Structure 1
Amino acid sequence: MNTMVHYYFAYGSNLSTRRLFIRLPHAQCRGVAELKGHELTFNMLSKDGSAKCDITRTEAVSSRVLGVIYTLSSEELSTLDSIEGARYDRVSKQVRLLNGEFLEAYCYIANTFHTDQLPFSWYKQHVLIGAREHCFPSSYIDTINHQTSMQDPDVKREQLELEIYK
């Protein structure tokens, strides 16, 4: 068995530990981290026709994306590669934990973009729940909350997605 540990920087729906632990039950939450020089967007075009989170490089000095660091085994990282799929590229970025420690962590950056799609409301809820769970600043949570979303026409998918919080 491969015991190598990988760091994963989650910034979208996997901020929610319930969502991530359903997918990867042996992952460990290490804490909140920030990625400087990037901003959170909802511009990845998903196979379901909706928008999902992405991070975009920016020149603004104050820009940052907050996320959660999880430790994953090589097998879990491979599973996550399958979950995130071909519409994201796994890349390594230097992030800073709140305690000041820097580390290299994998994150997924979109390679399929859109200009006119919205996230489903259930997807946005995963992101909001995770941001609140990890006590992100209220201004950051407000930015996520103000992201326009749409109802998923597949009511059963929406119910299934949000069932984890009951």
Structure 2
Amino acid sequence: MNDDFFVMQSQPDGMPVLHRGPVRNVEAYYATRAQGKYLRGMQATRDLLVERGHPDPLSYELHVPMPVHKRGMLYALDVGRHLDVVHKRSLYGNLAQLGGEEIADVKIMHRAPRGYSASSPFLSTMPDSFVAGHVGQYIRRSFPQACRYETRRR
């Protein structure tokens, strides 16, 4: 769980395992946008997974909570320790053979009232889209009371 993830609906059966589909599809998307460290890390993580017997690995690089078992994550981090940029979630998810359900990423990058659904069980924001955007207003309206883990700004 990251501090910019929001669980918008109760998960009575526990946190589902979610992925973004095959890494090859996510890689093709990012290849049209940037050629930086993130894409190189995705490719290196994919290559490592292919070497380890996962010919068509899934991408778990989503902005939603992910169930993780400590022992399995420690193993994945050890396997990927030599990579400059490791996609930890994807490495763990594939090595642990999590499977799961494919969804589109829920990260909202902009202030405009587009790009998310009020029926989505999960949302994620950027600082600006949360503070000054439509999605931030929606989240604050959905949860008007601070929970026990939140601190109040002074």
Given the two structures, how large is their TM-score scaled by the length of structure 2? 0.29
Length-normalised TM-score, structure 1: 0.28
More strand by proportion, 1 or 2? 1
**Max Rg structure:** 2
More helix by share: 2
